[in-house]
Structure 1
């Protein structure tokens, strides 16, 4: 009886211990399940974290893809620009294109002669002769431009704009040469090169400022004239275009009364005594004005001029002095400073 009671008590004790142990194991398992997420849960949480990071990332860190846009040119034409301009034709604006780091599909030329001072950069660009006017649409189609830029209103006349606009979007300036800095900024916007345009303009302004400082003590309020000798005649260049703009508007050098508020004025031996200039720059246009230049310079009237007597006549490089763009203007300014401050 004692043994039987002892056996029954031992069995009851074992039962109670087993229950306690099982309860502990179950609690532990439940706790472990609560602390360790499944692989699916972890993956879902990671994806949610990544999505949140993408949503809060600053927009400026991602560059938006370019898109087509419609603008209005200086003649009021609506121009639908492609998302990215890859091939441009802009005759007589090659200087500005090179300044922006852009190579056109074709370049302007007079016969076989292009812009001399740009040929290192444009040596592989085909030339299109403009001596007889703008090339026909069939000529331009062979070069497959996706943007055409005409530098002057005159280029868009007589149906030229309508014909060109059928080939590619065509933007027309009223007169790009009248304000090179402004037209360069516009061209930069058209081509997606606004930063390059701003940098080029700022560099040019710095050069102009430095040149003015160097010239102020030499030139002062004295006047400068630019005489262009060409096969068709001799002209005094005003301050509205090309080298005249660079000297008279940008550098602020005084000009003769003969060309005040004028693009240019014809010069002959009869008018020559009226030329009021202390310094004279001479341009032999495309090396084709030699005969007229020789004839005028051999005359007594020429030799009697104060600028000639004082040795203040300088023949300059027609290649960039007849150029239109900041690259040409910088070369013109370098020449002007060098020649006028050398004595």
Structure 2
């Protein structure tokens, strides 16, 4: 009799344990529970202990880079959210700001990405492991590989970098074959009242044009925009900075200056060698934006 009671007790324990395990294995409406495993990421500010598989990422910077590698984003900055290139895919992702730590806390992130220029970095680090990047410290392709390291997807990031570089260089070679080895290009941006010209690492496709395609930069642009990344211009001096081609970044709408005699007299304008891009679609240097701009440049230079 005692033996039967003992066996019955063991069986009951097994049933209870099984039910308990089934219950513990469920989280977030039946989704598999995220791993608690962590890894040490060597960031530019020192080692940071981060989740091996982050499930709730808040990206105050580099959101598009993370998006390109299928990172689990729950919050992004307003510029990323505003890009038409990500409008549909990021419809349910919240807009966040470093000036609203409480809003970030409410999203329960397990990883935060921020820029070194941002405020409240100490507050962010109290919320979740925070990785900080400095704009321009890495070139635009190295930055994508670094995001790959962060998300444990370095191989995937490297494969894209190698493939994109090969294709962009090929387009650059075709451009120089058609227009000459010393063909030059300027990248201007206007909001209808103000103008700026960009160096070789300020998005708007500058990295592709100057770093990868190795197209020439006008001398005045080198003198005034290369060091700081951009240079504000008066409308009257625009012709001095114009290359054989112009890439014009704008927010759309009417721009009276482009109808002016000063603008119309620029050789690139006279020769119909102006390539227009949307500022909101070109303000990053992530894979989606770069692929989009490469198609535009290929058509604009080689049509």
TM-score by length of 2: 0.79
| Residue aligning to 2:175 | 215
Question: Relative to structure 1, is the Cα distance of residues 189 and 207 closer, same or farther in structure 2, using a 3 angstrom cutoff?
Answer: same
| Residue aligning to 1:198 | 158
Structure 2 CA distance for aligned equivalents of residues 314 and 82 of structure 1? 43
**Unpaired stretches in structure 2, ≥5 consecutive residues:** 1-34
Tell me, what secondary structure is at the counterpart of 2:211? helix
Question: Relative to structure 1, is the Cα distance of residues 196 and 253 closer, same or farther in structure 2, using a 3 angstrom cutoff?
Answer: same
Aligned with 2:40 (options 70, 73, 77): 70
Residue 91 of structure 1, CA deviation: 2.4
Aligned with 1:154 (options 117, 139, 160): 117
Aligned with 2:82 (options 102, 114, 131): 114
**Unpaired stretches in structure 1, ≥5 consecutive residues:** 1-64
Q: Any conservation in 2 of the 1:283–1:317 contact (CA below 8 Å)?
A: yes
| Residue aligning to 1:273 | 239
| Residue aligning to 1:255 | 217
TM-score by length of 1: 0.70
**Could you say which structure has the higher strand fraction?**
2
RMSD: 2.3
Tell me, what secondary structure is at the counterpart of 1:84? coil
Tell me, what secondary structure is at the counterpart of 2:99? coil
User: Equivalences for 1:173-322 in 2 at 5 Å?
Assistant: 173-175=133-135, 179-219=139-179, 220-230=181-191, 233-242=194-203, 243-260=205-222, 261-262=226-227, 263-285=229-251, 287=252, 290=253, 293-294=255-256, 296-322=257-283
Structure 2 CA distance for aligned equivalents of residues 146 and 232 of structure 1? 42
Structure 2 CA distance for aligned equivalents of residues 232 and 165 of structure 1? 40
Question: Relative to structure 1, is the Cα distance of residues 177 and 283 closer, same or farther in structure 2, using a 3 angstrom cutoff?
Answer: farther
Tell me, what secondary structure is at the counterpart of 1:165? helix
**Could you say which structure has the higher helix fraction?**
1
Structure 2 CA distance for aligned equivalents of residues 100 and 154 of structure 1? 24
Structure 1 CA distance for aligned equivalents of residues 279 and 157 of structure 2? 26
Tell me, what secondary structure is at the counterpart of 1:205? helix
Tell me, what secondary structure is at the counterpart of 1:106? strand
Residue 328 of structure 1, CA deviation: 0.7
